[in-house]
Amino acid sequence: MTTDDATPTDPGSTDLGALDPFEADLAAALAARADAGGAPIDAAAGWDAVAHGVASHRAPSVLARRGPALAAAAAVVLLVAVGLVAVARRDTTVDVGPSRPGTTGAAPGSTPGSAGTTVSGVLLLDGGGIGPWRFGQPIADVLPGLQAALGPADTAGTDAGDTKGARWKTFEIRWQDDGRFSGWTLTDTDVVGAAAPPSLVLPLGLSLGMTVGELRAWPGSTTPVELDKAGPALCGTLEGRLCGLVSASSLDPPTQTLPDDALVYGFAAGTGARFSGTPATTSPDGTVPTGTVALQGDGLGEWRFGTDGDAVVARLTERLGPPDEDSGWTGPGFYAVRSRGVRWKALDLTLLEESKKPVLLGWTVYKSERGSADLPAGVTLPAGVRLGMTLDELRAAVGATKSQGLEGSIGECWTDHGKPVCVAFDPASGSTVQPATGSMRVLMVLAGLQVDPSLVPDARGGSTPATLPPVSTVPTPASGVPTPPAPPAGTVATTWRLQNPADANPEAWNFAVRVNYAGCAGSAVPGDTLIGPYVQETSTDVVVSFFAAPLPGGAHLCPLPLGTPATIQLHQALGTRKLHIGVGGTVRDL
Amino acid sequence: MPPPIDPARTVAHDDALRSLFAEQYVAMVRTATALLGRRADAEEVVQEAFIRMGAVIDRVPPETRTAYLHRVVVNQARGSLRHDRARKRQPRPLAEAASTPEDDAVASDGARRLLALLDELPERQRTCLVLRYHAGLTDTEIADALGLSLGSAKTHLRRGLEALRTKASLR
C-alpha cells in the first residue's frame, strides 16, 4: 500500500485526473472492490427484480381500491412491467458492461417511436395502442416506427370504410380518415396463412389459442360476450378495451354464450380494428351508436351523472373516436379519491371513484392550452350556449341566471334538466371578484362538478375554526398507522403533496409541502385559514393532516391549483417510516 | 382551468424507469459494491432503489433523476449497513468483514489493507470517499446524495482522506 504523505490534493476538486498517488491507490482499490473480482453484473436479472418489485408495489393498492372488476388496472401495471421484463431480456439497451452516469444505453438497431421514443426488442400490445404508440396519435408518427420495428408492411393504406390500415402478416393496424391511429388486430390465421411478427407481445396471461375459459379467468376480463360483424368476443380493460376474438361457430345462438373450451383466435383493440365491439345487450346488430350527444345539467347524451364512468368513456370513444387525452385512473390525490380525466377536443369528462365504482362526475367545456375550442362533432351544449359569448348573450339564450362562486370568482348558473349548468368568465373580460357584468365572456361551461357537501360543513363559509386538540409530535413507541383527526367543527379536510418528492428521504426532518382543499375548490386555496400541520408519529408511520376554513357554498371547479405552502416538521428524521396524508380523518398514501 | 389531465401514463413511467435502469444500473451496483463490500448486498440495495424510484419517477424531473437515484442508493446502502450492524451487534461490521469475497478478489495486498482501513472510518467519511474516488461525484453531488450542506460534505471528505492517510502511515 502506498503511504505517500505528499501534499493532498484538494478533495473539493472535481478533477479525478489530479490524484496524488495515495488517492490513486484508493481509487484503484475501490474500483477493484466494485468489480468484485470481475464478476459480471447481471443487468437482466436486476431488471427482472425491479420490474417485479414495481408491479408488486403498485398492484395491491389498485386491487384493494377497485375490487375484482378493477383488477384490470392492476393487470395493466403488472403486464406492462412483465412486458418490460421481456423487453429488457431481449433488449440490447441494457448495458451489462461498466457504465458511468450520463452514458446512454441506446440500442443499436433501435427504431424511432413517437416523440423521440426509441423502440427495440419487442412491442407490447394493449388496449390503448402498441408499445409507445397510443391510439389517437397521428399515424405519421406511428407507421414509420412500426415499419422500422416490423419491417415494411405487406399492405398499407387500404380503404376500409372510414378507416385505412396496414398489415404485417396476421397483424394489422387501422387509422381514421383524419389520420389518427385507431386500432390493431392480431390473429393466428389470415389469408396469407403466415404467423404474426414475432416481436409483438400480448400482455401476460393472453395468448393466441388460449381457451375462452382461460380468457374469462384473466383479471382484465370484465364484460360478457360481445358481438359484431367479426363474430363473438370477450373484452376487458387494459389501457383501454382489449377483446379476444372467438370463432362465430363457437357461439350458442339461443343463449349467446361461449363454451369455456372454445379457442381464442385473435385479439383486437381500438376502433376500426377487426373487432370494435359493442355489447350484444345494447347493440345486438353490432352497429355503432350514432347521433348527437347533448350536454345537459344532469349528464350527457343518454348517460346521467353517477353512472359507470368507464362505460361512458368506452361508448363515447366508439362515437367520437379515441380521446385526445386520457389521464387513466390516478390518485388518490387532489380529489382525495382516485380520478380520471378524459378529453375530446374542448370536452372534458371527469370521473371519480366512489364506493369503489368509477362514476361520471361531470363535464366541462373549455379551450385547453393545447387543445381546441371546438366541441367534437355531434356534441352540443344546451340552448345555443357557446364559449366566448357574453353574459348578455347567455341570458338571452337560457333566460335568467344566478350568480355563484366559481373558480374563486363569480360565475353564473341556470337550471337545465333539473340540475345546474354553470359558466365561468374569462378574467380578461372582467373582474374575477365582482359580480358578473353583461359584457364578460364565457370561458368555460360545466355541469356536475359541485363541491362535495360533506367537505363544506358550513356552506356560509368564513366561520371561525374550532381549536384543535393538542397532539404530541413525540413519536410513540407503538407501530402502525395512527388514525388522523376528523376536521374539527368549522373546518374542512385538506390534502397535501410534497413540494419536492425527493425530500422524503430517511434523513429528512422537515418537508416543504403544498396544501389544497380535499374537494373541488377551483383555484381557491386555504391561504391564511390553514390550520396545521397536525403531525402524528409512531415507530413505523407518520401521518400529517391540515385543515382549513370552508369555502363559500356553490359550485367550484376541480382543477389542481398550486396550493398553500407549508412546512412539516418531524420530531426526528423520517428514517424508514412511511409518510402518509391525513385527509379528513382518513389516511391516504403519499 | 380544466380538470386535471395527467398525460403521463404507466407505460411512459416504466419506459422512463427502464431507460434510467439501462443507463445507471451497472454504475450504481458498482458504487454500492464499493460502499458495502459485497456484490449481492449491493445488487439488492440498487434494485430496491430502482423500485422506489419507480414509484416516484413521474414526479422527479429527468435532469435530477440520477442525483435522486444516487441519494436513494446511498440511503439504502447506509440502511443496509445499519441493519447489518444491528444484526451482528458490532460497531463496524465492515472492519471485521473486510475480507469479503469481493475484497479477496482484489489482487493487491496493499489495496485490501487500504479497503480495510477505509471501512474503519465513520460512515459519512467513508461514503464521501467512495462517492468521490469511485463514483467521481463532485462535492455538490456528494452533498446532494447525502443530504448534507456543501460545507459539510467537503469537511467529511477532507477529514476522511486525512484519517485514511494517517491510518495508512501508522501501519
Q: What is the pLDDT of residue A366?
A: 77
Query: How many of the other CB atoms lie within 10 Å of CB of B149?
Result: 10
A32·B60 Cβ contact <8 A: no
Chain A residues touching B147 at Cβ < 8 A: 505, 507-508
Q: What is the pLDDT of residue A73?
A: 28
Looking at A145-149, A190-194, A456-460, which range is the least confident one?
A: A456-460
Q: What is the pLDDT of residue A576?
A: 87
Question: Does the pLDDT at position A444 exceed 60?
Answer: yes
Separation of first and last alpha carbons in chain B:
70
Q: Is A140 on the interface with B (CB under 8 A)?
A: no
Contact of B50 with B17, CB cutoff 8 Å: yes
**ipTM of this model?**
0.84
| Ordered DSSP codes for A109-171 | T-EE-GGG-EE-S-EEEETTEETTEETTSBHHHHHHHHHHHH-S-SEEEEEETTEEEEEETTE
Mean pLDDT of all residues in chain A?
Answer: 67
Looking at A40-49, A284-293, A441-450, A549-558, which range is the least confident one?
A: A284-293
Chain A residues touching B48 at Cβ < 8 A: 53
Q: What is the pLDDT of residue B138?
A: 87
Q: What is the pLDDT of residue A193?
A: 40
B111·A41 Cβ contact <8 A: no
Question: Does the pLDDT at position A53 exceed 60?
Answer: yes
Domains of chain B: 1-89 (1.10.1740)
C-alpha cell at A274: 377487426
In this complex, how many residue pairs, one in chain A and one in chain B, have their CB atoms less than 8 Å apart?
265
At residue A506 the predicted structure's pLDDT band, cuts being 50, 70 and 90, is confident
Which residue in chain A is spatially nearest to B33 when comparing CA positions?
A34
Q: Is A474 on the interface with B (CB under 8 A)?
A: no
Q: What is the pLDDT of residue A120?
A: 45
The pLDDT of B150-164, averaged and rounded, is 88
Q: Is B35 on the interface with A (CB under 8 A)?
A: no
Shortest alpha-carbon distance between residue B92 and chain A (Å) = 18
Q: Give the residue, A503 or A495, on which the prediction is more confident.
A: A495
Question: Does the pLDDT at position A95 exceed 50?
Answer: no
- Provide, rounded to the nearest whole percent, the portion of chain A with pLDDT above 90: 2
Question: Does the pLDDT at position A501 exceed 80?
Answer: no
Task: Tell me the per-residue pLDDT of A304-329, one tens digit each, with 9 for 90 and over.
Answer: 888 888 888 888 887 888 888 777 77
Question: Does the pLDDT at position B89 exceed 70?
Answer: no
A134·B68 Cβ contact <8 A: no
Q: What is the pLDDT of residue A284?
A: 32
Q: Is A103 on the interface with B (CB under 8 A)?
A: yes
A54·B75 Cβ contact <8 A: no
At residue A56 the predicted structure's pLDDT band, cuts being 50, 70 and 90, is low
B1·A559 Cβ contact <8 A: yes
- Provide, rounded to the nearest whole percent, the portion of chain B with pLDDT above 90: 12
Tell me which residues of chain A, numbers 375 to 404, contact chain B at a CB-CB cutoff of 8 Å.
none
Q: Give the residue, A30 or A460, on which the prediction is more confident.
A: A30
Q: Give the residue, A527 or A333, on which the prediction is more confident.
A: A527
A16, A20, A23, A33, best to mutate vs chain B, most B CBs in 10 Å: A33
Q: Is A436 on the interface with B (CB under 8 A)?
A: no
| Ordered DSSP codes for B65-105 | HHHHHHHHHHHHHHHHHHHHHHHHT-S-HHHHTT--HHHHT
A12·B139 Cβ contact <8 A: yes
Name the residue facing A34 among B33, B71, B114 (closest C-beta). B33
**Helix or strand or coil: residue A247?**
coil
Looking at A239-243, A415-419, A548-552, B96-100, which range is the least confident one?
A: B96-100
Q: What is the pLDDT of residue A82?
A: 30
The pLDDT of A457-475, averaged and rounded, is 40
Question: Does the pLDDT at position B129 exceed 90?
Answer: yes
Task: Tell me the per-residue pLDDT of A524-567, one tens digit each, with 9 for 90 and over.
Answer: 677 777 888 888 888 889 999 988 887 765 445 555 445 677 88
Shortest alpha-carbon distance between residue B71 and chain A (Å) = 8
Chain B residues touching A326 at Cβ < 8 A: 5
Question: Does the pLDDT at position A169 exceed 90?
Answer: no
CA angle B11, B15, B18 (to 5 degrees): 135
Q: What is the pLDDT of residue A465?
A: 38
Q: Give the residue, A13 or B7, on which the prediction is more confident.
A: A13
Q: What is the pLDDT of residue A383?
A: 78
Q: Give the residue, A6 or A218, on which the prediction is more confident.
A: A218
A99·B25 Cβ contact <8 A: yes
Question: Does the pLDDT at position B159 exceed 80?
Answer: yes
Chain B residues touching A98 at Cβ < 8 A: 26-27, 30
Name the residue facing A99 among B26, B34, B130 (closest C-beta). B26
Letter for the amino acid at B163? A
Q: Give the residue, A391 or A210, on which the prediction is more confident.
A: A391
Query: How many of the other CB atoms lie within 10 Å of CB of A9?
Result: 15
Chain A residues touching B135 at Cβ < 8 A: 101
Q: Is B133 on the interface with A (CB under 8 A)?
A: yes
Chain B residues touching A73 at Cβ < 8 A: none
Rounded CA-CA distance A242/A127 in Å is 5
At residue A416 the predicted structure's pLDDT band, cuts being 50, 70 and 90, is confident
User: Where in A256-408 does DSSP place strands (E)?
Assistant: 264-270, 278-279, 293-296, 299-300, 303-304, 325-326, 339-344, 347-354, 357-366, 379-380, 402-406
A99·B64 Cβ contact <8 A: no
Highest mean pLDDT (candidates A143-157, A210-224, A364-378): A143-157
Tell me the whole-structure pTM to 2 decimals.
0.33
Rounded CA-CA distance B141/B148 in Å is 10
Q: Is B120 on the interface with A (CB under 8 A)?
A: no
Q: Is B152 on the interface with A (CB under 8 A)?
A: no
At residue A463 the predicted structure's pLDDT band, cuts being 50, 70 and 90, is very low
Rounded CA-CA distance B115/A26 in Å is 8
Rounded CA-CA distance A264/A245 in Å is 5
Question: Does the pLDDT at position B127 exceed 80?
Answer: yes
Looking at A41-50, A53-62, A353-362, which range is the least confident one?
A: A53-62
Which residue in chain A is spatially nearest to B48 when comparing CA positions?
A50
Q: Which are the contacts of A171, defined by CB distance < 8 A and separation ≥ 6? A: A150, A184, A185, A186, A187, A196, A197, A200
Q: Which are the contacts of A423, defined by CB distance < 8 A and separation ≥ 6? A: A385, A394, A406, A411, A412, A413, A442, A443, A444, A445, A446
Tell me which residues of chain B, numbers 37 to 76, contact chain A at a CB-CB cutoff of 8 Å.
37, 39, 43, 46-48, 50-51, 54-56, 59-60, 64, 66, 68, 70-72, 75
**Helix or strand or coil: residue B125?**
helix
Looking at A171-185, A265-279, A427-441, A562-576, which range is the least confident one?
A: A427-441
Q: What is the pLDDT of residue A98?
A: 26
Name the residue facing B132 among A11, A49, A103 (closest C-beta). A11
Shortest alpha-carbon distance between residue B35 and chain A (Å) = 8
